[in-house]
Structure 1
Amino acid sequence: MPANLATEGRPALVYLRPLPDADPPLGLSLQRAATSALISAEGYVAIETHQDTPNAAGLAGFTTLLDALATAAERPTVVLASAEVLGERALDRAERLLALLATGAMVRLADASTPEQALRSAWLGRAPNERRRERARESMRKRALRGQVLGRAPFGYAIEGRNLVVDDHEAAVVRRIFSLYLDGYEGVRRIARQLNEDGIHTRLGKPWSAGSVRAVLRNPTYTGTYRRLGIVVTGAHPALLRRGQFEEVQARMARRRTAPADQHRHAYLLAGLARCGHCGARLLGARRSTGGGEAKTYYRCASATNQGRCAYHSQRTEVLEAAVRDALVSGRLSVARKPPSPRTTEARRIALDREVARTLERWAAGELTYRDVVRRAGEPALEAVRLTTAAQAASPRLDAVTAADRLTAEWDSLEFAEKRALLLDAVAEVVVRDKRIRVTRRYEAT
C-alpha cells in the first residue's frame, strides 16, 4: 500500500467483503467491477483496498480501514459496492456506516444509493412492514425505468399522463438562467437579483434566491435525462438545453465554488484523543473564518457544539497541540490505568449499541435529521465498532515509551500521518479543562 497520498485525482479507499448468501450474491469480482467503475467515472484514485472474508466476525479489514482513515493526511473517500457489505444485522451495518462517517471520510456507494438512504434502509429493514415498503419502492423503480415521473415536475416542465412535457413559460426562464451563467459568467446571486428585478418569480410566486438558481443549474433533467431511485433514463422527455451546455456549467461551478466540505477541510492531529475536562465529551475539530478572511482552527467540546450543554468553549489547535508536545518533551505525563476487563468492555459496548439504536429510532420517528444522527451517533458507533474488533489481531502497536521518544525527537520533521500514528501509539487521551491540559500515556503491560 502506498504511503504517499499525493497522487493525481482524489484519493479513495476501497472496502470489499463478499456476500455469497445475499440475493443476488455479491461476490468479490462484482464488487471490484462496481467500485472500479465508480472510481473511474468520478475521477478518484484507489490508493488502498481493504478486504474481509464473508464470515469475519471481527472484520480485521474494516479495522485496518478505520486505522488508515485515522492517519490520513487528507480527507479520503471510502468506496463500497453497497452498504450491505458492512454487515448482515441492521445495527451492525448502521454502526459501521456511521463509524466511517465519524472519521470525516466521504462514503460513496456504487449501487447509486447515498449513505443516508443506505442507513435508513438498514434501520427500517428491522421493521415488520419493510417488505411492503420495498415492494412499493420496486414499483416506483419500474415506473422510473419507463420514464414516468415520480413526484413533482421540475421547474420548466409539467406532467401529462405521468410524463414530463415542456412548460414554455418556465422553460424560457431555465434557458435564460443557463445563458446568463454561460455567456455572462454571472454568479448565482447576481442571476437571482436580475430575475427578481425583471419581475420573474419561482413557480410558487416567490423571489429567486441563490439556492433556487443553483438548484436549476445543477439539475440534469434539463438535458432530457431522468434520474430517480438510482435509475437513469436518457431521452425520457424533451431536453431544454444541450448536454455540452450543462456539462460546461457544472465545470464552471466546480471551479468557482469554495467547496466548504472539502477545500477547507482541516486534518486534526488530536481527533479522538482530546476530551473535555468539564463534561467528558470529545473535542471536535472546528474551523472559523475571521473578519479578514483568515481561517483559524479550534478544538471544541462536542457537547457544547451539538447540545449546548457544556460551558467549555474552545482551544486553538496550535495551542493544544503545542501543549501535548511540551508534555511529551518534559515527561509530564499521567500513565493510563490498566485497561478494563472484558466484562466491563462488553457492558460498555452494549451501552453504546443502545445509544446508537435510540438515536436511529428517533430519526425513524422524524424527531431528528440525518445530520443530527451522524453528529450524535457517529462517535458512539465508532467506539462500539472499535470495541467489537479490538480482540482481533491487528498490526502491533509501537510501545508507548518508544513512540513518545520518537515524537519528542522528530516532532517538527514528521509528516502528519506518521505523527498522528505515533500519537495514537503513545497517548491514551488528552483532557482539557480551561487552561489545564493533562496528557495520559498509554498503559503498558509489564
Structure 2
Amino acid sequence: MRVARGLVNELYLDDLREKTHRGLAGQFDRGYHVGGVCYGYRSQPTADGRGRELVIDEEQTSVVRRIFNEYADGSGIRTIVHRLNAEGIKSPRGGTWAVSALVGDRARGAGLLNSEIYIGRLIWNRRQWLKDPETGKRCCIDRPREEWQIRDVPHLRIIDAATWDAARARDQHRTPSKGGAKMRTLFAGLMRCSACGGPIIAIDARRYGCNVRKDRGPAACPGGGAFLRTDVDQALLSVVREDLMAPEVLSTVIATVQAAVRAAEAERQAKTQAAPGRRAALQAEIGRLVDAIADIGMSPALRARLAAAEAELASLPEQTETPIDADRLAQQAIAAYKRRMLDLAAALQKDTTDRDRTRALLAEILGPVILRRDDVGDWAEMEEPAQRVALAGSTLLSVVARARFELATFGL
C-alpha cells in the first residue's frame, strides 16, 4: 500500500510540475514577466492585474552602468568588486560583492556582465530545478538552448551597444576562471581566517591568505594579510610530528581519556539517580494534561506540552543501565590513537603520491585551524590535537560527546 501511495504521489507531483511550467510559459508568451528578477530591475503588477512586469530600478541601474563602463575601460573584475565593497554598495543579495557575481558563466549567460537583459533581450527557461532522488537535494539543470524562450524588450535596455561590445571584446582576452580546481597544498581546506571566518587558501606560490579578502577586498575582511606557506606548513607539521607522535605524549593522552570517561560516568550516574523522581513528576503531569484534554479538548499549547513531556520521559535513563567501564574505554581510545598516528606517519612518508589521503588524515586530527596575526606575531589556534584524536572517532564518541577540548596556540 505504501508503495502504491508513493507512486501516486510521485505522479501527482510530476503532473503538477508540468502544469505549473506550462502556465508560466503561457504568461511569458503573453508578454508578462515570470522567473527571477535581475539586478537593476524590479517586478510589479501589470495595469490589467493579470500578471507582472519588469521595470528599471534607477538606483541599481547606475551601479550596473558603472560596472560595465569600468570593465570596458580596462579595470579588472577584482578591482571593481573591491571598489564596490569599499563604498558600501550592496550586492544583489544584500551583502558584499564577489567576483562570481560579475563573471558567472559566459556559456550559461550567468553573471552580471553576461546578462543580455541589459541590452534589451529577455531570456527565460534556461534552467530548471530538480530533486536528486538519492540525496533529496534540489539541483540546477541547464536546459538545451532550443528550449530557451527569448523576447526583445527594448524598453528595458540600460547598456548601449558600444559598451556591451567593448565588454565582450575584453572577454576574448580574459583567461576563463578555474573554479573548482583541485587542492594542492597540504593544509588546504583546514585553515580559517580569524577576522572573518573565511577559508585560508594559497593565494600564490609563496603565501596563504584569506579567500574572502582576496575575492571581495579589505572591506569584507579586515584581516592582517598573507602568511608565508613555508612558515605555516613547517609549524603545523611540527605540531603533528613533535606533539602527537612523541612517546611522552601517550601518558598525557591516557590521563585525558580516563578523566573524560570518569566525568561522563559521574554525569550519567547523577542523571540515573535523579531519574525516578523526575519520572514520577512527568507521569503525573502527563496524567493532568490528558485530563485537561478530555475536559476542554485539544489545543496547540496542550499538544506541544504533552509531546515535550512524553519526549523527556522517554529520554530518562533506566536504573538497569550497565556502568561504564572507564579502563576498557580508555584502552580502546588509546588503541585508536595509536592507529591514527601510524596511518599519519605512513601518509606523511608518501605524501607526494597520495596527498589527498594525507590531507584527509590531517583534517581529522587537527580539525579547524584558525590563523591570526597580532602585534606579537603570527599564530595558529586549534583544539588541543592530542585530546581531539583521543576523544573523537572511537567508541568514546557516544560517551564523551560533550567533552570540551582545550585551545592550543602555536607560533608560526
TM-score above 0.5, yes or no? no
What range is the shorter-chain TM-score in?
0.3 to 0.5
TM-score (norm 2): 0.32
**Whose relative contact order is higher, 1 or 2, with alpha carbons under 8 Å and at least 6 apart?**
1
- Mark the structure with the bigger radius of gyration: 2
